[in-house]
Amino acid sequence: MDWLMSAEVYNTILVGSFVYAAFILVGAFLSKAPYGRFGSEGAGLSLSPRLGWFLMELPATLSFLWFYLHGKNASEWVPMIFLGVWLIHYANRGFIFPLLMRVASGSKGTFGLLVVVAGWLVTTLHGYLNAVFISHLSTHLTPDWLSDPRFLLGMAIYLFGFVMNVHSDAIIRNLRSKAEVESGERIYRIPQGGLFRYVTNPSYFTELVSFAGFAIATWSPGALFVLFVSAANLIPRAFQVHRWYLNKFDNYPRERKVLIPWVL
């Protein structure tokens, strides 16, 4: 696997990844990814949402760890800080978030197998492109980087995005009581409070903010890829979700923006 750590191979995979992300962007505008509110029970091959999320996100942790540990700077301080950030981020997305999800008991799968399989390539690339850069190819991630304005600003942005993302996901989760979930109902309500006062999709907004912060803090092309491919997935879906709420609820707050408070 050492050949995957060379700068030439890394750069080639990086370029290919951006091209792939451009295709994802087009695809996401043309169709709705079949999971969550746009997934339907028994349509095609589907998994339970909890298992679907867990499986789809797993390669991001495994591939990051694998490539990180093969990097020549794996035991340096600054790379280890980013290793910690990555593991916490994906512990939330890949393990805690699926575990806490409120899925109607007895319901069939609504998380398309295709979403999981397509997601595997992206989440594997997430891990590879970030870990190889952080623990092997970068030359600026020395202890001096800890006082660099890009590190300080980027980490502040990342932390704001991450905390508000967890908060927004929690508001959504609490829209269904445990009793409702146990009775097998799949209920949707209008989320209120937090950043939902301003936008329909604060989870998507803060996910993108956190990845923008991570890209600034690491100054890494791999992190830029994560930001780009996440935007390719989430911006079209944000418009689809906004339209879905407007169609479903007559009393949906019309003043809410789609994704970016006061802007979009």
Binding track, positions 233-262, relative to ligand NDP; x by CB under 6 A: xx----------------------------
Strand blocks (E) in the chain:
46-47, 111-112
Q: Under a CB-based contact definition with an 8 Å cutoff, are residues 39 and 112 in contact? A: yes
Query: Which of these segments, 7-15, 130-138, 139-147, 171-179, binds ligand NDP (CB under 6 A)?
Result: 171-179
Asked if 60 and 90 count as a contact pair (C-beta separation under 8 A), the reply is yes
- 46 forms bridges with which residues in the sheet? 112
Residues 152 and 218 sit within 8 Å (Cβ to Cβ): no
User: Is 63 one of the binding residues for ligand NDP (CB under 6 A)?
Assistant: no
Q: How far is the CB of 86 from ligand NDP (least distance, A)?
A: 13
C-beta separation of 66 from 2 below 8 A = no
d(CA 186, CA 202): 22
49 interacts with ligand NDP by CB under 6 A = yes
Q: Quick check: 203 binds ligand NDP (CB under 6 A)?
A: yes
Is 37 among the residues that bind ligand NDP (CB under 6 A)? Answer: yes
> Cβ of residue 89: shortest distance to ligand NDP, in angstroms?
10
φ/ψ of 219, rounded to 5, equals 50, 50
Distance CA 219, CA 221 (A): 7
- Asked whether 151 and 86 are in contact (CB, 8 A), the reply is no
CB of 6 to ligand NDP, least distance (A): 28
User: Pick from 32, 70, 167, 186: which binds ligand NDP (CB under 6 A)?
Assistant: 186
Span interacting with ligand NDP, options 60-68, 148-156, 177-185, 227-235, rule CB under 6 A:
227-235
Sign of torsion over alpha carbons 96, 229, 191, 155:
positive
Binding segment for ligand NDP among 62-70, 71-79, 184-192, 254-262 (CB under 6 A)? 184-192
d(CA 196, CA 168): 8
Site string for ligand NDP, 129-168 (x = CB under 6 A): ------------------------------------x---
Q: Which of 136, 230, 236, 242 binds ligand NDP (CB under 6 A)?
A: 230
Of 1-9, 33-41, 81-89, 255-263, the window that binds ligand NDP (rule: CB under 6 A) is 33-41
Q: Is 172 in the site for ligand NDP (CB under 6 A)?
A: yes
3-state secondary structure 66-79: HHHHCCCCCCCHHH
**8 A C-beta contact, residue 230 and residue 207:** yes
* Footprint of ligand NDP (CB under 6 A): 35-37, 49, 101-103, 110, 165, 169, 172, 175-176, 186, 188-189, 191, 203-204, 207, 230, 233-234
